[in-house]
């Protein structure tokens, strides 16, 4: 009997991934099915559904699920779920498909068929529907009115852009996963399925586990967060996104190298596990913080580290809105339907010259002038512009890797600073 936290939804890990003879037969059948092209975000979602990362989901959402998730943070059966997980189709694709059809889902970049789906429903996503989703999922406390939100969002919010550019129909239904794409080979030893992470935690005897979400290279603040987690939990799962980011963010393979060097030199090895997962960032701030906790529960995690501006972009969200949202969501009473993974809330962290060490707003009495404020955005901006980083901003072993990366770039991308990156 496992002592780990149970997967979300009360149904165990939902495995929709085929193997062996079953996989070969489905691959052969898929060649003759009508095909729908998936965006990179949809490809990551497909893998997470198939491997159990999005348990209890068995496929892409129906309109009832989509609408209830947007409005109430719940699936139509009353299970907590924070963000829509949908599959879009063009008018031509949708016109060629009727409910009950089986279809093949492929990645247009390489024509790889990654899954099949039995279509149970198709529904139109009008401009009004897309705007409704964006306002519910992406609008935070950083923009006080809907008008202010839309004034900025279509130009400056990559998650909003992603939704507004979706094809005009959604297809719903259970999936079968045929391929995890390049993730198992490109990120060998880092990319892992929920069952693999759970096996490692079981072998180590861990029960209380904190996850550190990373989309930036691991600077001193991240290191400090992970070490706080190690102090109060059995171990820390340093879990990096290896899907797509917005332009200007540092690619996954570079970030993985940075984490490797930190783990090797500055952590007790048996207290941390490094892993990667295949999603694209949605930049949904508080809602994405909830998603991170939800799927981390499926990986066996009990506590999700939530710090300053978690999963944020620009100034769309309040600095600690991703912490307070956990107090506002429904917690269904029926067994398995509530979110069990708890937030591990940590204040803004930094290096303080007077304290002579890492500290937070809760522990440091000194002024802003005494602090080296750490953020991934600030790090990217200074490195991209060839600027000199202040002492204690990052470990030299990590900065050497990042300097080498930026020196090799031919096209420079402007990195904009915002309030959460500067402390304003």
The answer to whether 266 touches 227, Cβ cutoff 8 Å, is no
Between CA 220 and CA 351 the distance in angstroms is: 8
Residue 379: which residues within 8 A CB-CB, separation 6 or more? 216, 217, 219, 389, 393, 394, 402
Angle at 34 between CA 160 and CA 108, to 5 degrees: 45
Tell how strand 303-306 and strand 342-345 pair up. parallel
Q: Is 362 a catalytic residue?
A: no
Angle at 421 between CA 329 and CA 373, to 5 degrees: 110
Tell how strand 303-306 and strand 209-214 pair up. parallel
In the set 215, 308, 371, 380, the catalytic residue is 215
Q: Where are the beta strands (DSSP E) in 354-420?
A: 357-360, 371-373
Nearest in space to 123 (alpha carbons), one of 75, 91, 145: 91
DSSP assignments along 21-71, one per residue: HHHHHHHHHHTTSEEEE--HHHHHHHHHHHHTTTTT--EEPPHHHHHHHHH
Between CA 193 and CA 14 the distance in angstroms is: 12
Between CA 364 and CA 352 the distance in angstroms is: 8
φ/ψ bin of 17: left (φ > 0), alpha (ψ from -120 to 50), beta (otherwise): beta
Between CA 259 and CA 132 the distance in angstroms is: 38
For residue 347, count CB atoms less than 10 angstroms from its CB and return exposed for 0-12, middle for 13-18, buried for 19 or more.
Answer: middle
Quickly tell me which residue has 């096209």 as its tokens. Answer: 411
The answer to whether 414 touches 248, Cβ cutoff 8 Å, is yes
In the set 216, 220, 255, 282, the catalytic residue is 216
Q: Is 215 a catalytic residue?
A: yes
Six-digit token pair at 380?
């990217």
Between CA 160 and CA 127 the distance in angstroms is: 12
Active site (catalytic) residues? 215-216
């Amino acid at each position: 009997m496992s002592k780990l936290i149970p997967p979300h939804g009360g149904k165990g890990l939902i495995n929709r991934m085929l193997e062996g003879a079953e996989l070969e037969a489905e691959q052969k059948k898929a060649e003759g099915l009508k095909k729908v092209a998936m965006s990179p975000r949809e490809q990551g979602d497909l893998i997470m559904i198939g491997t159990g990362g999005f348990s209890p989901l068995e496929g892409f959402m129906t309109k009832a699920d989509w609408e209830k998730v947007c409005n109430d943070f719940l699936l139509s059966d009353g299970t907590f779920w924070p963000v829509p997980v949908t599959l879009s189709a063009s008018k031509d694709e949708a016109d060629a498909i009727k409910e009950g059809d089986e279809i093949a889902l492929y990645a247009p970049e390489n024509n790889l068929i990654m899954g099949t789906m039995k279509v149970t429903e198709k529904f139109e996503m009008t401009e009004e529907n897309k705007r409704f989703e964006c306002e519910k999922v992406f609008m935070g406390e950083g923009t006080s009115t809907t008008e202010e939100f839309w004034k900025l969002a279509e130009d400056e919010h990559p998650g909003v852009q992603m939704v507004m550019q979706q094809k005009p129909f959604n297809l719903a239904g259970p999936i079968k996963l045929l391929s995890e794409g390049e993730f198992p080979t490109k990120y060998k030893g880092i990319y892992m399925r929920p069952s693999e992470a759970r096996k490692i935690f079981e072998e180590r005897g861990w029960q209380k586990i904190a996850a550190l979400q990373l989309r930036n290279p691991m600077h001193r603040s991240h290191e400090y967060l992970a070490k706080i987690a190690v102090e109060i939990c059995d171990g820390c799962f340093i879990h990096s996104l290896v899907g797509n980011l917005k332009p200007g963010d540092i690619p996954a393979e570079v970030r993985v190298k940075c984490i490797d060097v930190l783990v090797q030199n500055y952590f007790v090895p048996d207290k941390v596990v490094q892993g990667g997962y295949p999603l694209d960032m949605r930049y949904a701030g508080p809602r994405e913080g909830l998603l991170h906790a939800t799927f981390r529960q499926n990986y066996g995690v009990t506590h999700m580290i939530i710090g300053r501006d978690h999963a944020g972009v620009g100034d769309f969200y309040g600095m600690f809105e991703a912490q307070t949202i956990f107090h506002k969501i429904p917690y269904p009473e029926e067994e398995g339907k509530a979110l069990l993974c708890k937030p591990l809330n940590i204040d803004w962290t930094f290096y303080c010259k007077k304290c002579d060490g890492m500290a937070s707003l809760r522990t440091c009495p000194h002024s802003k002038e005494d602090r080296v404020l750490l953020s991934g955005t600030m790090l990217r901006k200074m490195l991209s512009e060839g600027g000199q980083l202040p002492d204690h901003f990052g470990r030299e072993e990590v900065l050497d890797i990042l300097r080498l990366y930026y020196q090799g770039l031919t096209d420079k991308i402007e990195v904009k600073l915002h309030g959460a990156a500067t402390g304003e």
